[in-house]
Amino acid sequence: MSEASANAVVEIRCTVNAEPRAFRAYPMARLLDVLRGELQLTGTKEGCGEGECGACAILLDGELANSCLVPALHADGAAIITIEGIAGGDQLHAVQQAFLECGGAQCGICTPGMVLAAVNLLERHPNPDDAQIREGLAGNLCRCTGYMRIFEAVVQACRASGVHR
Amino acid sequence: MQREPYIGSAVPRKEGREKATGRARYVDDLSFPGMIYGATVRSAIPRGRIRGIHFDPAIAWNEFTVVTARDIPGKNVIALIVDDQPCLAEQLINHPEEPVVLLAHADPYVLEKARRAVRIETEPLPAVFTIEDSLAKKEVVWGEDNIFKTYLVQRGDVDAAWENAAQIVEGEYFTGAQEQLYIEPNGMIAIANPQDGVSVWGSMQCPFYVHKALAALFDLPKEKVRVIQTETGGGFGGKEEYPSMIAAHAALLAWKSGKPVKIIYDRAEDMAATTKRHPSRTRHRTAIDREGKLLAMEIDFTIDGGAYETLSPVVLSRGTIHAAGPYFCPNVRVDARAMATNAPPHGAFRGFGAPQSIFALERHFDVVARRAGLTPAEFRRRNFIRKGQSSAVGQVIHEQVEMGKLLDRALQLSDYQAKSKRFALENPTSRLKKGMGLATFMHGAGFTGSGEEYLASVVSVEASREGKIRVMAASTEIGQGTNTVFAQIAADALGLPYDWIEIAQPDTSAVPNSGPTVASRTVMIVGKLVESAALSLKQTLQRANLLSPDFTAAEFASACSNYIAAHGALKSTVQYQPPPNVHWDDVKYQGDAYSAYAWAAYVSEVSVDTTTFEIHVDDFVAVQEVGRVMNPVLATGQIEGGIAQAIGYALYENVVWREGRMMNSQMTNYIMPTSADLPPIRVFFEEQPNDYGPGGAKGIGELPMDGPAPAIANAIEAATGVSVNRIPITPEVLMEAMENVRV
């Protein structure tokens, strides 16, 4: 690893959605492209490519990160969660179930990142107030909903208290 | 079947589970074997002659597919209304970012490097960038006089009315461009060759618009062009006409390379090169009598259409018809025009001309109210149109319109009176000044006048042997809930479970043309056809004596099985019929402009920081009469989302232009509202069933875009005493107005 250069593909090992994965990528390749390309996890979306919209949000070692700004090398040894890892098999996460019931998704393109952000918010603040919800989701742009139904979904997910690991 | 109707209930979104789990497949999630990537080389100048195209010899061009206008098999045009917009510029450039050369390669990184290695040699020509310069004909850049279209609406005798006026009030109002900013950028995948024809998959609102454009470009018969809508991540009008252009580009590269070609725009390209909302300038001159009743309205309405005509005549039409609002005025003149400038063509964006003219009107009416010595609410109450009266274009209102009641309800819910009083007391000694502002307006649903008759939309509904239902229409799901509401309508019409209804993916080879997904028409017009087709299918079974009056779902399934065994298929197809007694004169521009209007009263509460000039919307109340709420969660979501976009239009979304090019074409510096920026948005519905929509529904998709900007500008005046007549009202704009300084 000490001889890594930007022009040479390197081997990267991490866990993605609790499964060990190994792949080869350029160190500065965007993690977003590795997820969507090599790993064929197309749930994570590109909205802006500059870390503004949050559509590419994932959990990287438990922290919300915009994968369009994460170099692939940074994923080495990390635990990554994408939208595909949020539901427990056929059982939706409480946040996803709440999105369905409250109308949190309209066109759906921001939804994967927004769900990740909401899951992460509830891990940090299991019973967030309005200000904490707004702050926690401020890195995820939604053009369709005006955010109201998303806030409601977060509150509903709290009530259902189904935050599972 | 004994159950609650689906119409009116919050059934879950048809494709909601896929969206919540990341399994919904948008165009960039799709891959075809052997697929390569496409990119577009665009003009850097606003106007000029193309002298040559130079390819840097450092690139191995033999690895690339290269397409120019010469490779177009049919007409080099993106067919829409008039054929003035080329697919690829050939001799002339008319706007920055105009497409000139297309490239394709298997490696998207190599492709991007190559894109920068193509130089378009040009001889610049003088250009125009503002409405004023275009009107003045500083340069004639389109046609004989830069004018795409004009409309003149007249009723009564405006010129004679000024003499009798107690007050004459003038004002000039401006709205800026606005980027639709769907979170999924434009994208297409094409497979094309002379033997099989052209197929495209992609993000779009109107598959048959793309179909028409490709057939003309490739000179192919209809059956050889196939357009399929993939899950679409937002449209708002930005994917009404533009997709024809990107589809054409992908298809040309596919045709020449013999491989599937994917083009996905990155955000910067999408913002700089594709359509935006038309900027506008409106001049008002209004005469009122001593009681504050309207005597005359003279309105001069101009929109900036960019470099090619595209949809500007239709945007102008809607803006013109909405320019005089939900008021009665005996003498009206609306003189309207759409002008050419050397910017990328402006296009459809939710509201489509109405947000522009309604901003001007509702801002102006607060000024008129003050001159009349009346409150904003009281002035409007004295002038609201009522049943039996006619609008500026002569449309007699046949429904019981209660604008006064909607306004009263909005004022009460927003605590307008008490807050206004309190703010008036507190503001003089407070750095943070607060104000309340209102706007009252209407929005017509469906295509204008004879537009729906011209579209002649068709919908089919088919049953399987198991009684499962397939609804076939060209209407696209773009987040607004098309799939869900169509399924609710069909399920109720047939008396079947919601889960038995499937909505076919819009694919021009498999669905009839039910028209574009625009103009707030999807539920009211196409949904009605879904209902008719479903009822017709049920009647077919009933007439064949296969269904008892109280049939169960299982009995319905048997009936289908029997019918199909005997007849081979069970399918109903219906076509739009214009409602009786709805007449529109296209020449005089008079008559029944729309078959239904939704009516609304919005109230905004703002606080203005007089040190930083930042404006924050603290509360927003939206009351609207919409005929019938088909699905409360979806309908509320539409209003909330539209208000959020309109708050952006009013305060944050500033397009910075330099010589026809958008300079802030990234999300870093084109600001749309985040969750931290928006107020609680409180939505209230009233229902007065409309004769023509399913369940009595009217259209609501665009309505929420019209009211917030003027309500906010009015609230800012209440808070600061300063009249701001342009949007977006950024802190710089407000500072200029408040301190009379140039920033």
B267-321 pLDDT, tens digit per residue, is: 999 999 999 999 999 999 999 999 999 999 999 999 999 999 999 999 999 999 9
DSSP B57: T
Looking at residue B582, its pLDDT comes to 85
Mean pLDDT of chain A: 94
A38 touches chain B (CB under 8 A): no
Tell me if A45 and B233 make a contact (CB, 8 A cut-off): yes
Tell me if B667 and A110 make a contact (CB, 8 A cut-off): no
Nearest to B183 among A50, A82, A141 (CB): A141
Specify burial of residue B414 (Cβ count, 10 A radius: 0-12, 13-18, 19+). buried
Looking at residue B220, its pLDDT comes to 98
A86 touches chain B (CB under 8 A): yes
How do residues B355-378 score in pLDDT, each as one tens digit? Answer: 999 999 999 999 999 999 999 999
ipTM > 0.90 for the complex = yes
Which of A2-16, A56-70, B67-81 is predicted with the least confidence, judged by mean pLDDT? A2-16
- Between positions 4 and 23 of A, the ones with CB within 8 A of B are none
Which of B215, B186, B184 has the alpha carbon at shortest distance from B199? B215
Share of chain B above pLDDT 90, in %: 97
- The shortest C-alpha distance from A2 to chain B (Å) reads 26
**Which residue in A143, A151, A154, A156 has the most chain B C-beta atoms within 10 A of its own C-beta, making it the best mutation to test that interface?**
A143
A90 touches chain B (CB under 8 A): no
Q: Can you tell me the mean pLDDT for B657-665?
A: 98
pLDDT at residue B221 greater than cutoff 70? yes
- The shortest C-alpha distance from A32 to chain B (Å) reads 12
Closest-approach residue (CA) in chain A for B30: A42
> What is the spatial order of strands in the sheet that B331-339 belongs to?
B147-155, B331-339, B294-304, B280-288, B167-175, B726-727
Tell me if B479 and A115 make a contact (CB, 8 A cut-off): no
Tell me if A107 and B183 make a contact (CB, 8 A cut-off): yes
Nearest to B637 among A36, A52, A103 (CB): A103
pLDDT at residue B57 greater than cutoff 50? yes
pLDDT band at A165 (very low <50, low <70, confident <90, very high): very low
Q: Can you tell me the mean pLDDT for B3-28?
A: 97
Q: Can you tell me the mean pLDDT for A81-109?
A: 96
Tell me if A48 and B667 make a contact (CB, 8 A cut-off): yes
CA–chain centroid gap for B339, Å, is 20
Nearest to A141 among B17, B29, B672 (CB): B672
Looking at residue B340, its pLDDT comes to 98
Q: Match 């002569």 to its residue by tokens.
A: B394
Looking at residue B3, its pLDDT comes to 83
Answer for the pair B653, B236: CB distance below 8 angstroms, yes or no: no
**Which residue in B675, B681, B703 has the most chain A C-beta atoms within 10 A of its own C-beta, making it the best mutation to test that interface?**
B675
pLDDT at residue A44 greater than cutoff 80? yes
Answer for the pair B495, B556: CB distance below 8 angstroms, yes or no: yes
Instruction: Give the Cα separation of B525 and B446 in Å (integer).
Output: 7
Measured between beta carbons, the chain B residues lying within 8 angstroms of A143 are 180-183, 234, 236, 641, 644-645, 672
- Between positions 62 and 81 of A, the ones with CB within 8 A of B are none
Looking at residue A162, its pLDDT comes to 53
Answer for the pair B26, B231: CB distance below 8 angstroms, yes or no: yes
Q: Can you tell me the mean pLDDT for B636-653?
A: 98
Looking at residue A66, its pLDDT comes to 98
Q: Can you tell me the mean pLDDT for B737-743?
A: 71
Which of A15-24, A123-132, B230-239, B733-742 is predicted with the least confidence, judged by mean pLDDT? B733-742
Burial code of B438-465, b = ≥16 C-beta within 10 A, e = fewer?
Answer: bbbbbbbbbbbbbbbeebebbbbbbbbe
Closest-approach residue (CA) in chain A for B633: A103
Looking at residue B626, its pLDDT comes to 98
Looking at residue B580, its pLDDT comes to 86
Measured between beta carbons, the chain B residues lying within 8 angstroms of A137 are 674-675
A114 touches chain B (CB under 8 A): no
How do residues B89-135 score in pLDDT, each as one tens digit? Answer: 999 999 999 999 999 999 999 999 999 999 999 999 999 999 999 99
Omega prior to B632 cis, within 30 of 0? no
Tell me if B667 and A103 make a contact (CB, 8 A cut-off): no
Measured between beta carbons, the chain B residues lying within 8 angstroms of A106 are 479-481, 637, 641
Nearest to A55 among B12, B13, B183 (CB): B183
Q: Can you tell me the mean pLDDT for B540-561?
A: 96
pLDDT at residue A99 greater than cutoff 60? yes
pLDDT band at B743 (very low <50, low <70, confident <90, very high): very low
A43 touches chain B (CB under 8 A): yes
Instruction: Give the Cα separation of A69 and B157 in Å (integer).
Output: 63
Measured between beta carbons, the chain A residues lying within 8 angstroms of B479 are 106-108, 144
Answer for the pair B650, B727: CB distance below 8 angstroms, yes or no: yes
Measured between beta carbons, the chain A residues lying within 8 angstroms of B20 are 92, 96, 99-100, 104-105, 108, 111, 115
Answer for the pair A136, A120: CB distance below 8 angstroms, yes or no: yes
pLDDT band at B493 (very low <50, low <70, confident <90, very high): very high
pLDDT band at B187 (very low <50, low <70, confident <90, very high): very high
Whole-Å CA distances, B743 to B669, B709, B731, B740: 18, 23, 10, 9
Instruction: Give the Cα separation of A103 and A146 in Å (integer).
Output: 11
DSSP B297: E
Task: Provide the residue type at A3 as one letter.
Answer: E
Tell me if A46 and B28 make a contact (CB, 8 A cut-off): yes
Which of B734, B709, B701, B679 has the alpha carbon at shortest distance from B414? B679
Q: Can you tell me the mean pLDDT for A73-81?
A: 98
DSSP structure string for B667-704: TTTS----TTTPPPEEEEEE----TTSGGG----SSGG
Share of chain B above pLDDT 70, in %: 99
Mean pLDDT of chain B: 97
pLDDT band at A164 (very low <50, low <70, confident <90, very high): very low
Expressed in angstroms, the distance from the first to the final Cα of chain B is 68
- The shortest C-alpha distance from B306 to chain A (Å) reads 25
Measured between beta carbons, the chain B residues lying within 8 angstroms of A92 are 17, 20-21
